[in-house]
Amino acid sequence: MSGLIVPPGQGRKLITRAQEVTFKVTAEDGSSISCFEVVVPPGFDVGAHTHTRSQEFFYVLDGELELLAFEPAERTGDDWHDWKSADGDQVVRAGAGACMFVPPGCPHAFRNATDRPARMLFQSYPSPDHERYFEEIVEIFSAGDSVDAGAVEAMRERYDVRQITPLRYEPPTLPDARSTTAHGR
């Protein structure tokens, strides 16, 4: 019997304008756990959601992410960033070395609210739900300039994702260098 060693920078990459996902270990490798390296760009918010059968583990490798892993006292509006649990748990700003475990049924989310990409190791059990999810989301995001919200919703339902707040990708606006030059600065 043999295991699997995946060198740095190796694995199948899926890239969209909103995320870069590298498949490290998959069901195809004989694993019951899917393992991915994910680059989370500035402005990406996965939105609060739950899974009925999946459990997940997130480990921040580089950068900083806001993390949520609790049932809020009240699910308010379409924004999870100010949620608090009945026990006083709050959203955590997590840097490299922080991790988050999410059991089935637990609301969770992550967001990159900084101006730099973050990188995380993401594991999901059982495989291959998230593998298929990432493959399909690449197809949806590559289909044109606008994302078909209905297609995303239907795809999430198929792969055990119960969305509570919307997925958002709002990259930070960078100053236009030409306008600064035009004003003599």
pLDDT of residue 178 exceeding 60, the answer is: no
pLDDT value of position 180: 47
State which residues form the domain around 158: 12-165
pLDDT of residue 146 exceeding 80, the answer is: no
Assess if residue 58 is contained within a domain. Answer: yes
pLDDT of residue 110 exceeding 60, the answer is: yes
Assess if residue 179 is contained within a domain. Answer: no
Least confident interval from 54-58, 76-80, 83-87: 76-80
pLDDT of residue 36 exceeding 50, the answer is: yes
Whole-model pTM: value is 0.88
Assess if residue 7 is contained within a domain. Answer: no
pLDDT value of position 184: 45
Alpha helices in 51-174 (DSSP H): 129-142, 149-158
Which CATH number do you get for residue 30?
2.60.120.10
User: Which of 124-134 are b and which e, b meaning 16 or more Cβ less than 10 Å from the residue's Cβ?
Assistant: bbebbbbbebb
Assess if residue 77 is contained within a domain. Answer: yes
Q: What integer is the mean pLDDT of 114-142? A: 93
Assess if residue 6 is contained within a domain. Answer: no
pLDDT value of position 148: 79
How many domains in the chain? 1
